[in-house]
Structure formats: structure tokens, C-alpha cells
Structure 1
Amino acid sequence: MFVQRNSMGTEKKEKMRGGEGIVNFTYFVPNGTEKNARLLAELSLEPGASIGYHQHDNETEYFIFISGTGTANDNGTEISVKPGDLLITGNGASHSVKNTGSVPLVFNALIVTY
């Protein structure tokens, strides 16, 4: 399967998981089309925007940071994130992420179900 960028679905979510601002989604493939991949998308947070703290049960989420800078709460530990970093959250763990920089924080997100 080949998917061109201009055919990918997009969505804006406000105050995602109790966070601040808007999270922009570009879905690489429609949700539910790939077995065990609940989400495969690029997310972009404008400066100050965030995804609130939440838990992942029976699945693992991977954040692969592409550009920008921010902070993440990795199961209770506050960390700085930058391009090239990877955050893995699953098996009952929790996380959040916030753009603390002056440009969009962009990352790929993959949720794999068990």
C-alpha cells in the first residue's frame, strides 16, 4: 500500500486528554485499518499546547520526536524531549507531553494493541 501525504486524513483535537490548546493530527493510515495498530499518525503541538496525563492499558504507545522541544511526564518522571528521542508508554504506564519551545513540537505516534 502506498499513501500520498495529500490524501492522509487530518484532525484537530482541543484540550486532548485534559491538556492545553490544540493537537493537530495527520493520520498515515485510517485508524483501525492495520491489525494491532490503533493509531499511526504525525502529531503537532503549537507552543504551549499539551496532551494531558493518561494511562495505556493493553497497548503500548511510541512517540518518536521529529522537531521542536518539550517536556514529557514519563510515568511520574518529568523529562525533556527533542528530535531523535523516543518515549515508550505501555503495560499500565502513563504519560503526557507539552510543547515548551517556540516552534511546533512534531512527533510520530504509534499505538500497538496486545
Structure 2
Amino acid sequence: MQVEYNCHDGLDHVEVFRAFSADQDGKRMDFLDFVNVPPGATIGLHRHGDNCEWYVITYGQGKMIFCGEEIRVKTGDVMKNPAFSEHALFNDSDDVISLIVFQFSGENKYE
């Protein structure tokens, strides 16, 4: 487990366990992370390049900026962040948000 402070210029820290990275699988998938976002912490607003990043909320609830809109997310939600889109996650609750984050790039991305 690694702790990332100010993830994508977000607030506080998030806990990340990288279960998989591209160098393990010939770049079919860029990475697969298990992430915990404590209360009050954020993954800051950021934009990726030519890749598609997915968030699977496995526990908790919070607020997300998704394709220019502010929406509520909760356990069970699956969010596809398309290539070149901006997104952020804010834990405005009193409990942790746990999520799985994975990404595909270039010709391997699933749009």
C-alpha cells in the first residue's frame, strides 16, 4: 500500500494498492488500483490523454466532477471517464470511499 498526498492536486491523501501495472501484461491494461479516499480528501480535477479510466465505487459515497457535471456517487456506481475528459472525486462524507480504478490507453481503450 502506498500513500499519495495531493493526488492530482487534491486535498489530503489517498491510499493506493496497485494490483497490476502495464509492465506485467504487455500494455493491454495500464493499471488496476484499489484506492481509499478518507473523509475530506479528494482526487483533484484532472484530465488524461488518449486513455479511458474507470472508477468502480465499492464502498461509500461522495461527489464527482464527471464530464463537466457535478454528480453524487455511491457504492455500486461505475463511472467511465472517457479519453481527454476531466474528472475529480470528493469525499464529502464522514466515512471512507473505497474504489477500484483501472485504465486502458490508445488502441486498447474501451470507449
TM-score using structure 1 length: 0.86
Tell me, in whole angstroms, the C-alpha distance in 2 between the residues paired with 1:100 and 1:38.
29
- Unaligned 5+ segments in structure 1 are 1-9
Task: Supply the RMSD in Å over aligned alpha carbons.
Answer: 1.2
1:70 corresponding residue in structure 2: 62
Q: Confirm or deny: 8 A CA contact 2:8 2:43 kept in the other structure.
A: yes
Deviation at 1:30, TM superposition (A): 4.2
Q: Confirm or deny: 8 A CA contact 2:22 2:28 kept in the other structure.
A: no
Tell me, in whole angstroms, the C-alpha distance in 1 between the residues paired with 2:11 and 2:22.
24
Q: Confirm or deny: 8 A CA contact 1:12 1:22 kept in the other structure.
A: yes
Deviation at 1:33, TM superposition (A): 1.6
Tell me, in whole angstroms, the C-alpha distance in 1 between the residues paired with 2:94 and 2:19.
26
Q: Confirm or deny: 8 A CA contact 2:32 2:101 kept in the other structure.
A: yes
- Report the number of matched residues: 105
Deviation at 1:31, TM superposition (A): 5.1
Q: Confirm or deny: 8 A CA contact 2:21 2:29 kept in the other structure.
A: no
2:109 corresponding residue in structure 1: none
**Letter in structure 2 aligned against 1:20:** L
1:105 corresponding residue in structure 2: 97
- Unaligned 5+ segments in structure 2 are 107-111
2:31 corresponding residue in structure 1: 39
Tell me, in whole angstroms, the C-alpha distance in 2 between the residues paired with 1:31 and 1:103.
31
Of the three residues 11, 22, 28, the one matched with 2:13 is 22
- Percent of aligned positions that are identical: 22
2:73 corresponding residue in structure 1: 81
